[in-house]
Amino acid sequence: MSTNQWTELAVAVVALLLSAVATWAEISLVAVSRVDVRRLFDNRLSREDAIAIERTQRLRSAVLLIEVLAAAIAVALFTWVFADLLGDRGLLWGLLTSLGILLVVGRLIPRILANEEASSENDLPHKVGRVLALLFAPIVRPAEWIVTLFGGNRRRRYEAEPPADEA
Interval 75-85 mean pLDDT: 90
CB within 8 Å of 40: residues ≥ 6 apart: 49, 53
Q: What is the pLDDT of residue 72?
A: 92
DSSP line for 57-118: HHHHHHHHHHHHHHHHHHHHHHHHHHHHHHTHHHHHHHHHHHHHHIIIIIIIHHHHH--TT-
* C-beta separation of 62 from 133 below 8 A: yes
Kindly give, in sequence order, each residue whose CB lies less than 8 Å from that of residue 12, ignoring residues fewer than 6 positions away. 73, 74, 77, 78, 81, 98
Domain segments of the chain as ranges: 3-160
Q: Which residues contact 64 (CB under 8 A, 6 or more apart)?
A: 22, 26
Summarize pLDDT for 57-68 with one digit per residue, the tens: 888 888 888 888
Q: Cα–Cα distances in Å, from 145 out to 21, 59, 95, 99, 140?
A: 24, 14, 33, 31, 9
Mean pLDDT (whole number) for 66-89: 89
**Confidence at 42, pLDDT banded by 50, 70, 90:** low
Q: How confident is the model at residue 41 (pLDDT cuts 50, 70, 90)?
A: low
Distance CA 74, CA 16 (A): 5
φ/ψ of 61, rounded to 5, equals -65, -40
What percent of the chain clears pLDDT 70, i.e. is strictly above it?
75
pLDDT digits (tens, 9 = 90+) for 119-162: 555 577 777 888 888 888 888 888 878 877 877 555 444 444 44
